[in-house]
């Protein structure tokens, strides 16, 4: 399901989605906490650096960015479903793309 070029088309959707955002560099989501994985960044993911890079990777296409982040939202919900607390995932992961 993964080859030298990344996830194959038959890989689970979660792997394809995470591979799509992997190109943003150090500011990746630290799963399952969904904090920024960059050691010098204390922010929840997507941090400001990740948002800039994600927008650039989508070439400013807000629809593409929104679709990608909606897929990421599904992954985050699955990771945090049993974790207590107010994660406000819609605001963090999707609302900023408008």
pLDDT one-digit tens code per residue, 13-43: 666 677 677 766 788 888 888 999 899 999 9
Q: Where are the domains of the chain?
A: 2-97
Q: What is the pLDDT of residues 52-92, one digit of tens each?
A: 989 988 888 999 999 989 989 988 988 888 887 767 899 99
User: Contact, 9 vs 1, CB < 8 A?
Assistant: no
Supply the pLDDT for residue 85.
Answer: 76
Read off the pTM.
0.76
| Arithmetic mean of pLDDT, 38-50 | 93
Rounded to a whole number of angstroms, the CA Rg of the chain reads: 13
User: Contact, 35 vs 45, CB < 8 A?
Assistant: yes
Q: Is 2 left (phi over 0), alpha (psi -120 to 50) or beta?
A: beta
CA–CA dist 20, 16 (Å, integer): 6
């Amino acid at each position: 399901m993964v080859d030298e070029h990344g996830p194959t088309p038959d890989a689970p959707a979660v792997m394809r989605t995470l591979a799509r955002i992997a190109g943003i560099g150090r500011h990746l989501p630290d799963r399952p906490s969904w904090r920024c994985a960059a050691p010098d960044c204390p922010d929840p993911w997507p941090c400001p650096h990740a948002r800039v890079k994600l927008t650039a990777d989508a070439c400013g296409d807000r629809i593409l960015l929104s679709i990608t982040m909606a897929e990421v939202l599904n992954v985050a919900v699955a990771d945090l479903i049993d974790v207590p607390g107010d994660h406000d995932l819609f605001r963090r992961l999707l609302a900023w793309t408008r």
